[in-house]
Structure 1
């Protein structure tokens, strides 16, 4: 929820025509964000989210079988990686084409 809210607040370019370097308007800024430092911060936050998911899945819990916990852990880690790559990745590389 934090990353989704952050993306809404940052309001990145979602189409090529919103990029600052669209149709030769200058080659200086190729970031989809108003502040280009978010091109670094956003992947770092996504990596921290994936690591937190992995750590959470490694914590012991009170009930459930080993198979159930393995399936749940695999699903949680896979979903965090997929969301990071498929949602955040295109935002970072949107204006670098």
Structure 2
């Protein structure tokens, strides 16, 4: 995986867990950064909840909405309108 990924107007520094746009910088918590890295790595492919839990949470038992919370946090960070996302999109019944 490249050290930096581009997501819309944002540049995601994978090793530093930071997204930047212009002079703005937003640090991501560990699970959010790992989730975003996984989504970037598999760009254009649907990643299901079970896959994310397996790879990001490494199979730990977690609450049913843990993935939704992290995805919601990521949308608030990188989407211009988190209510109408274009970079992290949910595909009903798939991921």
- Greater relative CO (CA pairs within 8 A, separation 6+): 1
TM-score normalized with structure 1 length: 0.29
Structure with more strand by fraction? 2
Structure with more helix by fraction? 1
Larger radius of gyration: 1
TM-score normalized with structure 2 length: 0.29
